[in-house]
Amino acid sequence: MEQEKNQKQNKKILQYIMMAIAIILVIGLTIFFIRLGINKHNERKYRYFDYELDNTVAVINRYSGSEEDVIIPEYITINGEDYLVTTIKMGAFSNHESVKNVNLPNSITTIEPYSFDSCKSLEKVQMGDNVIFLGAYAFYDCENLISINLSSNLEEIGAGCFSKCTSLEDIVLPSSLKKINNETFMKCKKLKNISLPNDVSSIGEATFYGCENLEHIEINDKLDSIGEKAFMECKALKEFTFNEKIEEIKDYSFAYCSSLDEIEIPNNIKTIGKYAFNGCSNVKSLKLSDVLEVIDEGCFAGCASLTNLKLTSNITRIERAAFANCKDINSIEFNDKLSFIGYDAFDNLENLKKLVIPDCIKHIELGAFSGCISLEELKIPFIGDGTNDINYLGHIFGAFSHNVNSAYIPMSLKTVRLSKACKSIKYQAFTGCMYIEKLIIPDSVIEIDALAIPNFNITIYCEENEMPNTWNQNWNYYNKTVVWGYKE
């Protein structure tokens, strides 16, 4: 009896054990299939994202889906482990054809260079608030991008980031922003207004180049650098106010800003680069800095609406083509320190009628006043370039030899007055000056060479009462009318 009882008891225990094993197997299999299902779901959820896992974070390497609306996940979960998505890698969406809207989670801190470049269909980007850095050319040539909401913690925008986003009309730069690199908004043709945050201290090279509808930019008090071509071809920009920190305007900075109507250079600006305001065809008023010493090459060339020019007191040099094609200039007020006028410096000043070149000038390069077709009266301290090598009048109008004076000297020029600084008139100095009617020679001239005066209808007015013995006997070889003892 006892043995039978033990057998029944053992059998019952065995049944319990079998039941427990079965329950464990069921639970294990259930967990297995649940996890399998989750992983398969995750695989489907992330199947268009090529990602890379590193410790606890994930980066998106490439998106290969075809959806128009893309939501980038905040986490990628694999085998129950969550990996925080922090980075959009270089080229992740580059040249994608179908994506129209992208939503970036708050976990993203970095968008690498070329991440979304040439996404031709991209229209809207919603960015999380933890992006600190936007890489170079990240949204380059996204030609249909209309709206982008930048991170409130963004500190730097890389070079060319929004270049050629030709549909972008408005963008709000966050107060956290510290740096805008070269070409950032280049050729954003519909962009109209920009306000620089307080901590942005520089505008990079060609940052707004070709933003042809940019009408207004509000700068801050900390801005101390504007790069080359920064606002070149901003054809709608009507005004720009420089702050007290900027000391230099670089090459081509405002070239072809054809709506600017006034340029005022404050006294903190010491240097203006080559062609800085070239082609600003609507400028009617120009006020230069008092500390400026050089007007560089082509600096104000093509400012065709400018009528009056006054040089400030410290300018010593006017370089090549500095005011070329300023067709409406009708008066120039030089200072008493200017010593050099470069090649073509005042080329094609078509409305200039009277020109008084001061005695402080020491050198004038070829063609400095070429194309001044309305010039009627000229006063000069010397004939030629200011050296003993070139001594004929046509030099300043572009004549490369005294033999071609007549082809370059304006037909309108009737009166030439030599200043007290003039000491000599060289051989054939006025050859070909067939339209000059009046030549005034001061008593400072101690030497005149033979054949200096041309055989044209000209009257000579001399301050001397009679011919000095230091003049060549044949100075007036063609016996033109001379008025001695002339006083003005």
282 assigned to some structural domain: yes
Kindly state the DSSP code that residue 172 receives in the 8-state scheme. Answer: P
Beta strand 424-425 pairing with 447-448: parallel
CA Rg, the chain, in Å? 39
User: Is the same domain home to 480 and 391?
Assistant: yes
Torsion angle, CA of 390/393/398/401, rounded to 10 degrees? -50
By C-alpha distance, which of 392, 387, 381 is closest to 422?
381
Domain end residue (candidates: 282, 317, 352): 352
User: Is the same domain home to 327 and 415?
Assistant: no
Residue 485's region, left for phi above 0, alpha for psi from -120 to 50, else beta, is: left
The continuous run of DSSP H or E covering 101 comes out as strand 101-103
Low-confidence ranges of the chain (pLDDT < 70): 1-45
Q: What are the C-alpha distances in Å from 230 to residues 77, 162, 208, 238, 263?
A: 45, 14, 5, 15, 16
CB 430 within 8 A of CB 415: no
User: Is the same domain home to 382 and 449?
Assistant: yes
201 assigned to some structural domain: no
Torsion angle, CA of 226/230/232/234, rounded to 10 degrees? -100
What was the pLDDT predicted at 32? 47
pLDDT single digits (tens) 15-67: 666 666 656 665 554 554 444 444 444 445 577 899 999 889 999 999 999 99
306 assigned to some structural domain: yes
CB 384 within 8 A of CB 392: yes
Beta bridge partners of 317: 294, 340
**DSSP helix/strand/coil, 376:** coil
Domain that holds residue 445: 376-488
Measured CA to CA, the distance from residue 254 to residue 460 in angstroms comes to: 48
Residue 381's region, left for phi above 0, alpha for psi from -120 to 50, else beta, is: alpha
What was the pLDDT predicted at 10? 63
User: Is the same domain home to 340 and 388?
Assistant: no
User: Is the same domain home to 403 and 467?
Assistant: yes
197 assigned to some structural domain: no
Measured CA to CA, the distance from residue 227 to residue 197 in angstroms comes to: 17
Q: Which two tokens stand for residue 192?
A: 């109209």
Domain end residue (candidates: 336, 352, 368): 352
Measured CA to CA, the distance from residue 402 to residue 396 in angstroms comes to: 11
Measured CA to CA, the distance from residue 324 to residue 192 in angstroms comes to: 31
449 assigned to some structural domain: yes
40 assigned to some structural domain: yes
User: Is the same domain home to 456 and 384?
Assistant: yes
Kindly state the DSSP code that residue 466 receives in the 8-state scheme. Answer: S
User: Is the same domain home to 391 and 487?
Assistant: yes
User: Is the same domain home to 279 and 320?
Assistant: yes
CATH of the domain at 338: 3.80.10.10
Cβ-in-10-Å burial (0-12, 13-18, 19+) of 8 comes to exposed
The continuous run of DSSP H or E covering 285 comes out as strand 285-287
267 assigned to some structural domain: yes
Length of the chain: 488
Measured CA to CA, the distance from residue 300 to residue 226 in angstroms comes to: 18
Instruction: Give, in degrees to the nearest 5, the angle at Cα 93 between 131 and 153.
Output: 10
Q: How many domains does the chain have?
A: 3
User: Is the same domain home to 268 and 311?
Assistant: yes
User: Is the same domain home to 342 and 389?
Assistant: no
User: Is the same domain home to 400 and 456?
Assistant: yes
253 assigned to some structural domain: yes
Measured CA to CA, the distance from residue 96 to residue 246 in angstroms comes to: 41
User: Is the same domain home to 386 and 487?
Assistant: yes
**DSSP helix/strand/coil, 256:** coil
The contacts of residue 103 (CB under 8 Å, 6+ apart) are: 69, 70, 71, 72, 126
Q: What is the pTM of this model?
A: 0.87
